[in-house]
A and B are shown apart, each in its own frame.
Chain A
Amino acid sequence: MRIAPRTTQAIAKGLLLTATASAVGALVFVVGFVLAGGLRHVSWSFLTEPILDMGRAGGIFPAIVGTLLMVLVSVGIAAPLGIASAIYLAEYTREGRLTQTIRFGINCLAGVPSIIFGLFGFILFVNILGLGWSVLSGGLSLAAMILPTVIRTAEEALRSVPTSYRDVAASLGATRWQVVTKSVLPYAIPGILTGVILGIGRSIEETAVVIFTAGSAVQTPTSVFDSARTMAVHFYILAREGISNENAYATAAVLICTILIINTTAYTLMHRLMRGRRAA
């Protein structure tokens, strides 16, 4: 039996719309559920007070500081390293067995479960290098975890810049470095930043790696050598050990808001940057 093209078109459109609607719907539901359950327990004192009685009372100030510090360290390490690797892969080498091997390795690393990075960080940074449970150990391990994502997205962003830009710049006598910095990188920044933002997101939400490498101290970290817990870890401990459901939800709500704020800021900055470039 042959179905009329107009019918298949209608069916296809319906199916695609349903798929999109369920994806968006699930997202809205999850976020809404957490915010609805959590936001009413969030107050100014919840954001600014220390963790008391293992989280039954007080606020989550130490976890907020821990989260921001950990993200800062991990992205501060992974972004420059990842972007540099991507530039090397996309601009400085020719396709060959070496680049294929590197790329294969990166893809494998991107698929490794985070707990493995936690174990790796625990053995290398915490024990062998003697950094102990600390923000630094945690940040380094998280950096290792998000590095593949940063490299992959940055490389793709660089490759999507038209070859003609490179040819023109080279034909005007620019060195490879000038070609990259003046005629390729500026146009790849939005894509590169997307990868970095993905990395920030993964660092913020990670628990396994952090528990293994940064511990779960309830004190506010004052340096990168202190142990600390992130909001995600705090939430995990509160929920798993049944300490306080209310505070767990409140922490989750703050976590979601933090991610929203970071993403919005990053994209706004990016747009302003691009507009500024055009006008200049």
Chain B
Amino acid sequence: MEAITARGLNVYYGGFHAIKDVTVSVAPRRITSLIGPSGCGKSTLLRTFNRMNDLIAGVRVTGDVEIFGRPLYGEDVHSLRRRVGMVFQRPNPFPLSVYDNVAHGPRVHGTTNGKELDEIVARSLSAVGLWETLKDRLREIALSLSGEQQQRLCFARLLAVQPEVLLMDEPCSALDPISTTRVEELMQELKKDYTIVIVTHNMQQAARVSEDCGFMLLGELVEFGRTDSIFTKPSDRRTEDYITGRYG
């Protein structure tokens, strides 16, 4: 089964038509990237999949979207967001301890047992490669970590609620090149268990990490397919122009 399918998806911000008739399907346990110039709607499309757009006034969504076969608006938004989690552009841990950051989600969803929380924290930090470094520093304030560690912690905080899909909105844009490489390696690890959709400004990053790729322009999904074919033989002129750096 496809992880995400959208048919005839339109998103409007008041009078502005931000996503125009997008039809796409995202395969499970792969990394799918969305590229395109600023304002093309790639972030909006991403935020549609966990209904984060609904938090903005005047947003209207039409069309069919299903997440693992279940309609986007067919279930409670809170359980949807638990299944479809998000990593943001800037590392944004809460000003709490490392432990409390990771335990935040499970606590929200009703896990209060200390032992259970300990296990979740250990498992989530291990999954993002932070356990060895931080297992003796769990009480430290998360803001004292490096940028890369903070972003990894945000991954761990998300994994703690056991989502199925990870949406990433330019997750490396606040990181230096070395940290970026390491976070990309982490994504390769994570895709074994999770479906990942990543929005990126960085075409090289899309080429490096993703199997599938979508190119967006002015709210349209111009082209969608295997990343290597998009980058080597794009079928649309606009995609080719963007990839070869004629604009963007």
Contacts and interface: CB of A to CB of B under 8 A. Distances in A.
Interface of A: 94-95, 162, 164-165, 167-175, 178, 182-183, 187, 277-280
Given A175-B78, A182-B104, 19 more contacts: A164-B90, A167-B88, A168-B92, A168-B157, A169-B104, A169-B108, A170-B52, A172-B82, A172-B85, A172-B105, A172-B157, A173-B108, A173-B161, A178-B108, A182-B108, A183-B94, A183-B104, A280-B97, A280-B100
5 contacts: A165-B94, A169-B108, A173-B80, A173-B109, A174-B108
Given A167-B88, A172-B104, A172-B158, A278 B96 contact: yes
Nearest to A171: B86
Interface in B80-108: 80-82, 85-86, 88, 90, 92, 94-97, 100, 104-105, 107-108
Dominant secondary structure at the A interface = helix
Interface residues of B, number: 30
Contacts of B158: 171-172
Contacts, number: 65
Nearest to B93: A168
Interface in B113-168: 139, 141, 154, 157-158, 161
B55 A167 contact: yes
B139 A279 contact: yes
A277 B109 CA distance: 20
Contacts of A278: 95-97, 141
A-B complex: 8 closest residue pairs judged by Cβ atoms: A173-B82, A172-B105, A171-B86, A173-B81, A164-B92, A174-B108, A173-B78, A94-B57
Contacts of B104: 169, 172, 182-183
A92 to B, nearest CB: 12
Interface of B: 50, 52, 55, 57, 78-82, 85-86, 88, 90, 92, 94-97, 100, 104-105, 107-109, 139, 141, 154, 157-158, 161
A195 to B, nearest CB: 21
B95 A187 contact: yes
Nearest to B86: A171
Contacts of A94: 57
Given A173-B108, A173-B109, A173-B161, A168 B94 contact: yes
A168 B97 contact: no
Q: Which of A95, A174, A183 has the most CB of B within 10 A?
A: A174
A164 B154 CA distance: 12
Contacts of A277: 96
A271 to B, nearest CB: 15
Contacts of A95: 57
Contacts of A183: 94, 104
Contacts of B79: 173
A168 B158 CA distance: 9
Given A182-B104, A278-B141, A279-B139, A171 B50 contact: yes
A68 to B, nearest CB: 35
Contacts of A279: 139
A175 B92 CA distance: 19
Nearest to B109: A173
Nearest to B57: A94
Nearest to B54: A170
Nearest to A278: B141
B245 to A, nearest CB: 32
Contacts of B100: 280
Nearest to A179: B108
A187 B143 CA distance: 15
A270 to B, nearest CB: 16
A171 B51 CA distance: 9
B80 to A, nearest CB: 8
Contacts of B80: 173
Contact of B52 (A164, A167, A175): A167
A172 B124 CA distance: 14
Contacts of A182: 104, 107-108
A8 to B, nearest CB: 40
Given A167-B55, A187-B95, A174 B88 contact: no
